[in-house]
Amino acid sequence: MNPSLADRISNSVISKFHELNKKGKPVIRSNGVKEWTVLSGIVSLIPIPTPNSEALDYFIDTLAVTTGVKSTSNDTITKYSNGRLLHDCHAEVLALRAFNRFIIDETLKVQSGEISEYIAKCLETPKFKLKRDITFAMYISEIPCGDSSLSLLANGEQETWNDDTITYLPNGVLRGREHYGLKGRVRTKPGRRDSPISLSKSCSDKLAITQIKSLLNGLSSSVIEIEGFNLKWLVVPEGRVDLRDLKRSFHERLDMGNHCFQKIQFLETSLHHGWERSHDNDEQDPSNLGLVYIPNERIHESILSSIKEGFYSKKTFIRKNGESALSRVRLFEQIKPLLKIDSSLTYTEFKARNNKYKELKNRAYCSLGGWCSTSIDDFDI
């Protein structure tokens, strides 16, 4: 595809980000240090008829805009969550969750008799489906953490872990930046060597498996057919990427599993959002905040320590109504009107009934050579 499409996709996300007020955004601190963050977003592309031209044009709609570079420790999830904390606040993962919230909302419209530009009822099954000729793309202002960005570690552009420590995690998963010379492996979020361990997998791994299991999650796929819900394009910053790393991380690892999957295509953009990490400035600090914006739902949240900013409790970690709209509890509340369920079930038991999704997810895990789960984070529904 041509470079202008990459810039149009990027600009649709970046412009929405700049339109927002300061809530959840990075700042210049009182000591003059400029914070950095990663910006991501998911857009839809709907073909526009161009009878006088052979080139295909698109109407681009921004569905989710997110920032973030943090993840939640396994101990914190175990002790406090009960479905209320976000496990992973990296921008790409928040974008996936925000996208699912948007799609569930569109499905609720159809259920109530309204017309959705995206969702229709299936004639063959009780489920809903994506309307025809809609494709999706994701913009990321930095190369996804994990396997895709190992060359940045080797080139000294990101902090490395140079000790020989091995953290033994299930199924051969590597912790963060350990042994970064080993390529093609599933890794947890990088973080700092001395930080409490998070078992959330890297963004490279989480995005790679969408090529098999789709963009939908275990909740949305229980009521919506997955066909068509794939990323066609991943837009990354120009000059920051080694295409060989992306192909290895997203294509070759899954090819080895001999499974059919929808291969993501890679585009490069020259656009910037203005709060990127400067790779020649060691004094820059990452923003502690994450941002969630779903334009069509008018949801705009500032996320701090896996919950909405301002809702931290020293005693219980999270105060009442402190859950993000993207938390497990809130997403389940949103989709509940679409479900026929036994109220005696727990969240985990409900998701376990989604056999097709489980099969696809396990196929993806096997293709990558292994996976490890975060702590059980369950609640009564």
Tell whether the model's pLDDT for residue 182 goes beyond 90.
no
Output the pLDDT for position 192: 67
Task: Determine phi and psi for 247, rounding to 5 degrees.
Answer: -65, -40
**pLDDT confidence of 29, banded at 50, 70, 90?**
very high
The mean predicted confidence, pLDDT, of the chain is 91
Q: From residue 298, give the alpha-carbon distance in Å to each of 105, 109, 218, 275, 282.
A: 12, 15, 24, 23, 36
Output the pLDDT for position 242: 84
Tell whether the model's pLDDT for residue 193 goes beyond 90.
no
Output the pLDDT for position 342: 77
Tell whether the model's pLDDT for residue 159 goes beyond 60.
no
Q: What's the mean pLDDT in 156-163? A: 53
Q: What is the pLDDT of residues 301-341, one digit of tens each?
A: 999 999 999 999 999 999 999 999 999 999 999 999 999 88
- At 220, the amino acid letter reads S
Output the pLDDT for position 1: 43
Output the pLDDT for position 257: 59
Output the pLDDT for position 115: 97
Q: What's the mean pLDDT in 194-221? A: 94
The answer to whether the pTM exceeds 0.85 is: yes
Output the pLDDT for position 255: 77
Report the catalytic residues.
92
**pLDDT confidence of 187, banded at 50, 70, 90?**
very high
**pLDDT confidence of 30, banded at 50, 70, 90?**
very high
Residue 328 CA to residue 347 CA, distance in Å, equals 9
Residue 92 CA to residue 188 CA, distance in Å, equals 15
Q: What is the pLDDT of residues 236-275, one digit of tens each?
A: 999 888 888 999 999 999 876 566 788 999 999 999 999 9
Cite the DSSP H helix spans in 113-200: 150-154
Q: What's the mean pLDDT in 194-201? A: 86
Output the pLDDT for position 258: 60
Helix (H, G, I), strand (E, B) or coil at 273: coil
Q: What's the mean pLDDT in 88-101? A: 99
Q: Strands, DSSP E only, in the chain?
A: 39-48, 57-67, 69-71, 88-90, 119-121, 128-130, 135-140, 231-237, 265-269, 289-294, 299-304, 307-308, 312-313, 317-318
Q: What's the mean pLDDT in 213-231? A: 98
Six token digits for residue 120: 């229709």
Return the minimum-mean-pLDDT range out of 77-91, 284-298, 303-317, 357-371: 357-371
**pLDDT confidence of 157, banded at 50, 70, 90?**
low
Kind plus residue range of the DSSP H or E element containing 244: helix 243-247
Q: What's the mean pLDDT in 2-28? A: 94
Return the minimum-mean-pLDDT range out of 136-140, 280-284, 337-341: 280-284
Output the pLDDT for position 246: 95
